[in-house]
Structure 1
Amino acid sequence: MKLLVFGKTGQVARELILQGGAHEIMALGRDQADLSDSEACAAIIAQSDADAVINAAAYTAVDKAEEEEALATIINGDTPGAMARACAVKGIPFLHVSTDYVFDGEGEKPWSPNDPVAPQNAYGRSKLAGEEAVRAAGGAHLILRTSWVFSAHGNNFVKTMLRLSETRDQLTVVADQIGGPTAARDIAKALLAIAPQLGARKGGTFHFAGHPAVSWADFAREIFEKSGRDTQVADIPTSDYPTPAKRPLNSRMECSDLTKDFDVDIPDWREALDEVLRDLEA
């Protein structure tokens, strides 16, 4: 299958390239596809001979989005909509990566795909705008909401914790935000498995996140234990670590629909963490 991927250096995009296997992957970086130019991205699809399109690129600077919501909304909202419309015209599936930030982040119940949305920050609003635009395009599509992405590439929590542990004996980490760490490699594998299955009567909005649910603090402890670091973790509440953008306390996600509809297993993030640590060690 020939797949056109928007994104080249991001965590999921890099794993799509690495995990492509029998698929032919055409990955576009910023120099080839400027996501702030919606129509230019749509034109790339119109001129492509791809069998499906995956949007693995986004504006992901959550705090900076509070100051740049207009730009974030173009990149995360307008452009995915333009891409989806271009795919609909060509009659090819469009796969789009989204986030649990479209919810209000309250409570303890895992979020289901059909739960009411109520984003609490600019980034979440911009991603919700993208979801709505993709659905409105009317073509075969998959919106894959995920959370807490990590890998051996780019900037993420695992690499930050390892870097800080090199110079500190103890770190304070938020313990009242709960979610499912998700390896970019697992997200890529899921997208690659789903793409050939998408059709007019199969698709929609799904959740994909690692299990079991864990706090950031306990995630950090697991990182240090598995990597042989002696760094201690002190739990703190979110209120002790203020950020420009409000973070969700509850990022738990109900993912069973993805297994039922596409036979995609939900990964254990602890196993994925072992793989990422081995990659970083190598």
Structure 2
Amino acid sequence: MRKILLTGSSGQLGQSILKVSANHNFEIIATDLESLDITDPNAIEEIFSAEKPDIVINAAAYTDVDKATEEHETANLVNGKAPGLLAQASKKHNALFIHISTDYIFDGEKNTPYSESDVADPANAYGKSKLLGEQAVARSGAAALIIRTAWLYPEYGHNFVKTMIKLAKQGKALRVINDQHGSPTYAGDLAEAILFLAGNRFPSGVTIFHVTNSGTTTWHGLAEKTFEYADIKADLSAVSTQEYGSATARPMNSVLSNERLQILTGYSMPHWEEGLMRCIKALENKD
């Protein structure tokens, strides 16, 4: 059985990977911030030497988009430097390195879906920190997969879907942006795709894949479907990005093309509405 070293196991994607790993033939070594400091080369070397992983999945990240501007040093350390350290260790120990990245490396000004070959141009500090991480992985010389995703949510932690349900149940009036476009991605579906890719063989060097649920919508559209599937009546209105007001610039178009994934591996991602239904069902089962 092949062994996976998983970072960020207590995060939203990490928990999703642990959940779906029961469907795959891997031994998972789960680490989080307390058990592995991914910014410490000595700690990384120690766990690689002890566990000898075949595959490393880096699901750890600094994810506060708004605070990344003022906390850019921390964001750059966790998102920018640490992936390079993990990739270097992966190369040394002959492990496949799988790094999770984001739509935020693009400025969102393109009118069509972004492909893996489109030029990165982040619009904010968070996106810049994630791009630094991609570049560090590429420089490491490791055999690596960089998986970019977008609009991620699971049944765990704090995210858009859970926040919408919570606020609607409290009777709050909700103003949700209707001019930013993307592909909402259920973390359970992303986790399945990651473990599928982990079981495949790829050429040496770095291969980038865009992996999101298929189909597109807006944040308002996602909120509408969330309330429909959760059978909740909500006071919901649509607003523009300008009307909503935010100190942090966000991509207007976050749609990523999954075409490379489908062509090279034959793997197709489910539609975002299917993923949302699975998430709502999982939330209901938790309650």
Q: TM-score over 0.5 for the alignment?
A: yes
**SS in structure 2 at match of 1:247:** coil
Alignment of 1:258-269 (within 5 A): 258-269=261-272
Distance 1:45 1:178, change over 3 A: same
Cα separation, 2, equivalents of 1:159 and 1:169: 14
Q: 1:8 aligned to 2:18? A: no
Establish whether residue 45 from structure 1 lines up as the match of residue 48 from structure 2: yes
CA contact (8 A) 2:142 2:206 kept: no
Match of 1:187, SS state, is helix
The SS at the match of 1:171 is strand
Which consecutive residues of structure 2, in runs of 5 or more, have no partner in the other structure? none
1:9 positional shift: 1.3
Q: Which aligned segments of 4 or more residues in structure 1 are displaced greater than 4 angstroms?
A: none
How many residue pairs were aligned? Answer: 282
TM-aligned CA distance change 1:139 to 1:202, over 3 Å: closer
Q: Deviations over 1:70-101 (max 9, x none)?
A: 11001001100010011111111000000000
Q: CA deviation at 1:210?
A: 1.3
CA deviation string 1:18-44 (max 9, x = no partner): 111321111101111123435533442
Is it true that 1:188 corresponds to 2:227 in the alignment? no
Structure 1 residues 231-266: Cα deviation after superposition (integer angstroms, max 9, x where no partner): 132110111222232111000111110122222212
Partner residue in 2 for 1:179: 182
| SS of equivalent residue, structure 2 residue 199 | helix
The residue number in structure 2 matching 1:138 is 141
Q: Flag the 1:211–1:237 CA change in 2: closer, same or farther, 3 A.
A: same
Name whichever of 52-61 and 203-212 sits farther off: 203-212
C-alpha distance after superposition, 1:257-279 (max 9, x if no partner): 01222222122111111111111
1:101 partner letter? Y
Instruction: Establish whether residue 208 from structure 1 lines up as the match of residue 211 from structure 2.
Output: yes
Q: 1:148 aligns with which of 148, 151, 159?
A: 151
Question: Structure 1: how far apart are the matches of 2:204 and 2:264?
Answer: 11
Give the Cα–Cα distance (whole angstroms) in 1 for the partners of residues 170 and 243 of structure 2. 22
Distance 1:245 1:148 in 2: 16
Displacement of 1:201:
4.0
- CA separation in 2, counterparts of 1:200 and 1:252? 27
Change (3 A) 1:172 1:85: same
- Partner of 1:249: helix, strand, or coil? coil
Q: Percent identity?
A: 38
Correspondences of 1:49-198 after superposition (within 5 Å): 49-168=52-171, 170-198=173-201
CA contact (8 A) 2:44 2:89 kept: no
Looking at structure 2, the residues matched to 208 and 200 of structure 1 have their Cα atoms a distance apart, in angstroms, of 19
1:203 to partner: Cα distance: 5.1
Q: Are 1:139 and 1:200, in contact at CA under 8 Å, matched by a contact in 2?
A: no
Q: How many Å separate the matches in 2 of 1:88 and 1:132?
A: 15
CA distance in 1, matches of 2:70, 2:173: 32
Which segments of 5 or more consecutive residues in structure 1 lack a partner in the other structure? Answer: none
CA distance in 2, matches of 1:71, 1:42: 22
Please tell me the residue identity of whatever aligns with 1:132. Q
Q: Over the residues paired in the alignment, what is the CA RMSD in angstroms?
A: 1.5
